Amino acid sequence: MKDIKTQLVHGGEPETLIEGAVCMPVFQSATFEYSGEGSYHDVRYIRLNNTPNHTVLHKKLALLERGEAALVLASGMAAISTALLSTLKAGDHLLAQNTLYGGTHGLLTKELKNFGIDYDFIDLDRGESWARYLKPNTKAIYVESISNPLMQVGNLEAVVEFAKNNNLVSLIDNTFTGPYNFCPLPLGFDLSLHSCTKSLNGHSDIVAGAIIGSRKFIDLCAEKAAHLGGSLDPHACFLLHRGIKTLALRMDYQNRLATEIAAFLASHPAVEKVNYPGLKSHPHYDRAQKLFRGCGGVLSFEIKGGVAAATAFTNKVKLSVSAPSLGGVESLVTCPVHTSHAGLSADERQAAGISPGLVRVSLGIEAAEDLKADFNQALDS
């Protein structure tokens, strides 16, 4: 099998170039001529996520994460909701990690409840406690490779074993690591989910999602997605496809850059604490070293002086933009209190370990020296 760096560029590409085009052209056509397809789901139509720009991405993503099949969708949340609704039905119960991405947390607590799907949150660091939450109707376990914004890495090997022992479908949101830094399927996860909006596309210019897993399960998800309607437009497919080709270059750089910036921030007198699993001081450093090629370009830190100091920092940086989201070529900073975790009460945030002075940084591909100089001037003032 070829190295992932080669697969990113060549994997899944058309065997004969279309009209000699070196890049996959955009097939901006809602519908395609009927050619004897046997079922509705085989008729080519953009909503069915089966036009040429979809299928080339499906092949590439499946190769990258060593799954049988993949499905691209309109957003990370479309991938997550489609995967969960394909796994669970009314009367089922789900175990989910207690530090979920905000949108996923909302999906479970506000939407799935109304579909008759129940859940319990578990602490990924306390494997001995998980069995307590099992019910006869527990069907699945849902985790994230690296949690946001504290950058925690759960005991993912224990999750896989627990799922196997208890006959649960295991799902992992692999957005923060991506296929270059971590492949969850060979470890034993059933389904890997992505917000391709982040590092897979890498240029902050589209919203997209993906599910990767067995052929059988992906077919089920594709059928569900056709009814739910969250399909990816061919032009967004094209941009995602283009972005994916440079993933290895971007991730190698961001893995190194984030490690360097994390060490720089940790030594700055205005910084209380840095959360990055690539730092030796992080409680999950050993786990991350064992499981991941690198820890990606996102880190967070606590600034001395609470929410006022954190807000001032995000206002004073000149090179980085103060904006949510992550995984692009430009560095972004954000205060979780104002953005991703604004919906939580102060007590809920404290329980989740999100201090008022927390700043999240998504590193781009700028020079380390320029970023350090910019962070320095924002921290010093």
Is 101 an active-site residue?
yes
Active-site residue identified among 47, 59, 273, 372: 47
Q: Tell me the closest approach of the beta carbon of residue 194 to ligand PLP, in angstroms.
A: 8
Q: What 3-state DSSP class applies to 62?
A: helix
Question: Nearer to ligand PLP by C-beta: 197 or 311?
Answer: 197
Q: Using CA of residue 230, residue 236, residue 238, residue 241, what is the dihedral sign?
A: negative
- Cα 226 to Cα 57, 102, 159, 230: the distances in Å are 17, 25, 30, 7
Instruction: Specify the residue, 142 or 271, whose C-beta has the smaller distance to ligand PLP.
Output: 142
Residue 360 among the catalytic residues? no
Q: Which residues contact 231 (CB under 8 A, 6 or more apart)?
A: 46, 47, 48, 49, 73, 74, 225
Active site residue 47: yes
Give the interface with ligand PLP as residue ranges (CB under 6 A).
75-77, 101, 103, 144, 148, 173, 175-176, 195, 197-198, 207, 209
Instruction: Tell me whether residue 173 or residue 233 sits nearer to ligand PLP (CB atom).
Output: 173
State the catalytic residue, choosing from 101, 142, 180, 276: 101
- On whether the CB atoms of residues 146 and 291 are closer than 8 A, the answer is no
Residue nearest to ligand PLP according to CB distances in the complex: 76
Cβ 287 to ligand PLP, closest distance in Å?
A: 18
Return the number of the residue (103 or 306) whose C-beta is nearest ligand PLP: 103
Q: Which residue, 40, 37, 53, 34, is CA-closest to 231? A: 53
Provide the residue type at 159 as one letter: V
CB 158 within 8 A of CB 291: no
51/148 with CB nearer ligand PLP: 148
Q: Which of 92, 173, 190, 233 is catalytic?
A: 173
Beta-sheet pairing, 138-144 with 169-173: parallel
Q: Is 173 a catalytic residue?
A: yes
- Catalytic: which of 60, 139, 198, 360? 198
Q: How far is the CB of 269 from ligand PLP (least distance, A)?
A: 31
Question: Which residues are known catalytic residues?
Answer: 47, 101, 173, 198
